[in-house]
């Protein structure tokens, strides 16, 4: 069992990571929480039975956790990268939010610390690691579809998230050769985007294209009104599509070629389990010969399943860093993958700023 500290007691820390860590009580023990706002840290500590700290350095020195989960302010401040450097400098394994850092230079400092101190780091890139995505990837890895030639991500994450999702289908081991980005702002009818936020009368669309070394293409589109606006479909209409040598997928619908002339839909059976009164996913099984699919390694925990922010999705990422620390395995999504996706993200921003001028570079896989 890993003694774990959570740094950041806001929505992500106390609302996402702490509840999951508490449920995964055969893997983790929440020993400490830390936040610069004392009231927030104290409230989280009381709720989850942990020790409260208001200073990161003091917490690392006095608590000495096996693992620190950094869930502090995301971009544009990138405070998470600065805290990550503190954790690693103290010689403590790390789970951190994405992106890895605001610049490649800072990402390289993180990587250098990881390598010099022999530490394990899992970056919380979650879009390609939902239970449903794990089922799709299990079929891809078993060869059901053959190589993926084209993958589209429509509203399913933008920028960094969109890039990681596209790469996961083509293969993280396949290098990207060129990046193209386009963006445009449009006027829209004035409306309330989300309760409590200012009204909006503008929308920015972002488009990205990744050209891979093997000829595959990845395309994503994203709107700043994607999540929450009554003027655009929400997450329930987000969809990823892929087209491969022997089959294809569009959202939950999967199919392969049969008898060289028939589109053969793949039927999916979801096995459920009840744990401590909570229904959770035990497995996704296909109706293909041998029933290839995905089995939930955390099916004995009462983790709620759902999208990229669900308890099960987060728990599976935490399981990866647990295995890396205790078994010496490599994290599923470590610092090198995180740096590559940040590099591609920055290249796409550069292309956006130059009206779609392609960016070629050293994007080795």
CA–CA distance, 268 with 134 (Å, rounded to integer)? 13
Q: Are residue 295 and residue 149 in the same domain, yes or no? A: yes
Domain endpoint, select from 285, 304, 323: 304
Q: Are 282 and 293 in contact (CB under 8 A)?
A: no
Range of the domain at 202: 131-304
Q: What is the pLDDT of residues 182-225, one digit of tens each?
A: 999 999 999 998 888 889 999 999 999 999 999 999 999 999 99
Q: Are residue 21 and residue 137 in the same domain, yes or no? A: no
Domain for residue 169, yes or no?
yes
Domain for residue 24, yes or no?
yes
H-helix or E-strand spanning residue 66: none
Domain for residue 80, yes or no?
yes
The 3-state secondary structure of 198-258 reads: CEEEEEEEEEEEEEECCCCEEEEEEECCCCCCCCCCCHHHCEEEEEECCEEEECCEEEEEE
Residue 252 phi, psi dihedral angles, 5° rounding:
-80, -5
Q: Are residue 113 and residue 251 in the same domain, yes or no? A: no
- Percentage of the residues of the chain whose pLDDT score is greater than 90: 85
Q: Are residue 159 and residue 282 in the same domain, yes or no? A: yes
How far out from the chain centre does Cα 140 lie?
19
Domain for residue 337, yes or no?
no
Q: Are residue 147 and residue 294 in the same domain, yes or no? A: yes
In the structure, what pLDDT confidence band is assigned to residue 228 with cuts at 50, 70 and 90?
Answer: confident
CA–CA distance, 291 with 285 (Å, rounded to integer)? 6
How far out from the chain centre does Cα 171 lie?
16
CA–CA distance, 348 with 183 (Å, rounded to integer)? 10
Of 37-51, 222-236, 240-254, 350-364, least confident by mean pLDDT is 222-236
Q: Are residue 74 and residue 151 in the same domain, yes or no? A: no
Q: Are residue 6 and residue 148 in the same domain, yes or no? A: no
Q: Are residue 113 and residue 144 in the same domain, yes or no? A: no
Mapped onto helix, strand or coil, the DSSP state of residue 281 is strand
Q: Are 23 and 311 in contact (CB under 8 A)?
A: yes
CATH number at residue 63: 3.40.50.720
Q: Are residue 179 and residue 103 in the same domain, yes or no? A: no
Mapped onto helix, strand or coil, the DSSP state of residue 76 is coil
The 3-state secondary structure of 120-146 reads: CEEECCCCCCCHHHHHHHHHHHCCCCC
Domain endpoint, select from 95, 119, 143: 119
CA–CA distance, 11 with 13 (Å, rounded to integer)? 6
Higher pLDDT, 11 or 79: 11
Domain for residue 323, yes or no?
no
CA–CA distance, 334 with 111 (Å, rounded to integer)? 10
Domain for residue 364, yes or no?
no
Q: In total, how many domains does the chain have?
A: 2
Mean pLDDT across the chain: 94
């Amino acid at each position: 069992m890993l003694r774990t500290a959570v740094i950041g007691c806001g929505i992500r820390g106390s609302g996402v990571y702490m509840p999951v860590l508490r449920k995964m009580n055969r893997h983790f023990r929440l020993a400490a929480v830390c936040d610069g706002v004392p009231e927030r840290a104290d409230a989280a500590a009381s709720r989850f039975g942990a020790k409260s700290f208001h200073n990161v350095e003091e917490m690392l020195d006095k608590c000495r956790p096996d693992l620190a989960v950094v869930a502090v302010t995301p971009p544009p401040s990138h405070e998470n990268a600065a805290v990550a450097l503190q954790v690693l400098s103290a010689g403590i394994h790390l789970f951190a939010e994405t992106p890895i850092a605001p610049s490649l230079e800072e990402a390289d400092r993180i990587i250098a610390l990881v390598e010099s101190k022999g530490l394990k780091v899992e970056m919380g890139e979650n879009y390609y690691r939902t239970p449903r995505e794990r089922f799709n990837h299990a079929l891809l890895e078993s060869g059901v579809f053959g190589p993926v030639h084209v993958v589209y991500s429509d509203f399913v994450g933008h920028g960094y998230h969109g890039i990681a999702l596209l790469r996961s289908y083509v293969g993280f081991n396949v290098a990207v050769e060129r990046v193209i980005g386009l963006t445009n702002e449009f006027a829209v009818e004035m409306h309330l985007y989300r309760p409590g936020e200012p009204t909006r009368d503008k929308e920015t669309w972002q488009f990205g294209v990744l050209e891979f070394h093997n000829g595959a293409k990845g395309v994503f589109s994203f709107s700043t009104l994607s999540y929450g606006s009554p003027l655009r479909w929400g997450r329930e209409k987000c969809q990823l599509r892929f087209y491969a040598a022997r089959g294809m997928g569009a959202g939950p619908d999967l199919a392969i070629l049969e008898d060289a002339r028939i589109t053969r839909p793949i039927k999916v059976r979801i096995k459920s389990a009840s744990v401590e009164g909570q229904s959770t996913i035990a497995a996704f099984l296909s109706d293909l010969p041998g029933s290839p699919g995905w089995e939930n390694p955390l099916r004995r925990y009462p983790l709620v399943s759902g999208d990229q922010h669900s308890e099960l999705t987060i728990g599976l990422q935490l399981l990866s860093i647990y295995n890396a620390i205790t078994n010496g395995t490599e994290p599923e999504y470590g610092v090198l993958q995180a740096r590559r996706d940040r590099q591609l993200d920055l290249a796409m921003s550069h292309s956006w700023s130059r009206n779609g001028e392609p960016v070629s570079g050293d994007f080795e896989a």
